[in-house]
Amino acid sequence: MNIALESPNQPDVIALIGELDAYQDSLYPPEARYALDLAALCQPNVAFAVARDASGAAMGCGAVVLGTDHGEVKRMYVRPTARGHGVAQRLLQVLEGAARAQGCRELLLETGPYQPEALAFYARQGFVRRGPFAGYPDHPLSVFMGKALDMAPR
């Protein structure tokens, strides 16, 4: 497995994001979804990571929107066939490194209550529940989490 910061504007990555959208569409109504579109993911303040298998096929992705003091995790997704092999954890490590490199002291995220596996994953990675941030509404279909970043180099 190889994980690197890449452009999201690649056919296989766009297909991966499409799978994530279809999955989220099956769980939540449009008004409870806060996904970034491709144009937003291509902005200079976004670090986008792609996990690829040995043949080079995209099997997971994630982004962090880099702010002045925090980063927001967005678009984390691992294909079901690749789950359980540490892909999400390694993607998150790359995103944390990108956030640290930009001086972010905290990672924040918004996800939903109908994704218990994601909630458990983030909790295992040190995220704790918190209130809304960055203008998100306090909505029953949103779960907000945050994690302080150790600023020591790794």
In the chain, where the domains are located: 2-148
Sign of the torsion angle spanned by Cα atoms 153, 145, 61, 125:
positive
Cα 81 from Cα 35, distance rounded (Å): 23
pLDDT at residue 153, rounded to an integer: 55
pLDDT value, residue 68: 87
Q: Is residue 96 pLDDT above 60, yes or no?
A: yes
Average pLDDT of the residues in 89-98: 96
Q: How far is residue 17's CA from residue 39's CA, in Å, rounded to a whole number?
A: 13
Superfamily of domain 2-148: Gcn5-related N-acetyltransferase (GNAT) (3.40.630.30)
The C-alpha R_g of the chain, in whole angstroms, comes to 15
pLDDT higher than 90, residue 89: yes
The percentage of the chain sitting over the pLDDT mark of 70, rounded to a whole number, equals: 97
Does position 74 have pLDDT exceeding 80, yes or no?
yes
Percent of the chain with pLDDT over 90: 93
Contact between 36 and 75 (Cβ < 8 Å): yes
Q: Is the pLDDT of residue 128 over 90?
A: yes
In the predicted model, is pLDDT for residue 118 greater than 80?
Answer: yes
Position 153, amino acid: P
Tokens representing 125 are 């990675």
Residues 6+ apart with CB under 8 A from 72: 64, 65, 107, 108, 109, 110, 134
For residues 24-50, give the mean pLDDT. 95
> For residue 146, what are the β-bridge partners?
108, 128
